[in-house]
Amino acid sequence: MYSNKFYLPHIAVFIILCFIVSSCLFQRANRGQANSPLLLPEQSEEDRAPIDTVFKAAYRAFEQKEYIRAIELFKQHNKLDTALMNYESYAFMAECYHRMNQQEQGERVYKEALQKNSQRPKDMNTIYFSTLRSEELASWKSNYPSFPEVLKKENGFLPYDEWPVAVYEKTPVYPDSAIRKGMEGDVFVKALIDEYGTVVSVSFLRSTEKIFEVPALNAVEQWIFSPFKKKGIPTKIEITVPVKFRISRP
């Protein structure tokens, strides 16, 4: 058995370390810091994971020319992907049927895709993505049985999306009047990012305190992102950026 003389110094050191760590974490809450994760359109990364996994498996079967298995997997994927985030699945299904000399089935696939897309609720927060999806599906259907050039591996297609990441974040200006009153709050900004990762427009979505809206917009307008790549192709996208205003306290 060890004596209390052995344990007490260790306990004291442990308590001191815990205090230091907690103090450091508290100090990180700088005033006006926009440190929340980006909110991507329609689905979180956790929600998307099963959908993307099935899509990749279906694409792998397509690449290996296992067309029947690929179709089964794409159908499974489409049941999960109610938001049509990976709407390319319909083009690959149609191509599977074409390669099996079942072109009529492929035409039905595109008809189903367009119908499903038209029944989706309108979401103004993702208008650019929705427009892209509608235009591409209609174009792919009209050119069928030609396979879309943008979906060919030699043209840079990848079976996953690369979401934008902030590489520069401008810290918003904390209004002096808000500091004097001890006000804190959150602002949600909608930002349109172009193919190069530049913020081309921002608009206000909602906030907990009106005084923070303009500073948040001015800050996010200067952010720089890595470009969103839709299956390997740099593409415009709208995202929601949460901006937190917190007063640092000693």
> CB neighbours of 39 closer than 8 A, spacing ≥ 6?
188, 239, 240, 241, 242
Q: Which CATH superfamily is domain 161-250 in?
A: TonB (3.30.2420.10)
Sign of CA dihedral 89, 94, 98, 101: positive
Closest listed residue to residue 75, CA positions, set 101, 54, 50, 60? 54
The reported pTM is 0.72
Please give the angle made by the CA atoms of 158, 232 and 150, to the nearest 5 degrees: 85
- How confident is the model over 59-77, as a mean pLDDT? 97
User: Residue 63: pLDDT above 90?
Assistant: yes
User: Residue 127: pLDDT above 80?
Assistant: no
pLDDT band at 48, cuts 50/70/90? low
The domains of the chain are located at 45-155, 161-250
- How confident is the model over 65-75, as a mean pLDDT? 98
**pLDDT, position 136:** 96
Classified as helix, coil or strand, 41 is coil
User: Residue 54: pLDDT above 70?
Assistant: yes
- How confident is the model over 72-86, as a mean pLDDT? 94
Per-residue 3-state assignment (H helix, E strand, C coil) for 153-199: HHHCCCCCCECCCEEECCCCCCCHHHHHCCCCEEEEEEEEECCCCEE
Contact 243, 35 (CB under 8 A): no
Percent of the chain with pLDDT over 70: 78
β-pair partners for 166 = 225
**Rounded to an integer, what distance in angstroms lies between the CA atom of residue 139 and that of residue 121?**
21
More confident residue, 50 or 158: 158
pLDDT, tens digit, for every residue of 203-220? 999 999 999 999 999 999
Does CATH place domain 45-155 in 1.10.3470?
no
Q: Which long-range contacts (CB under 8 A, 24 or more apart) does 202-208 make?
A: 205/125, 205/240
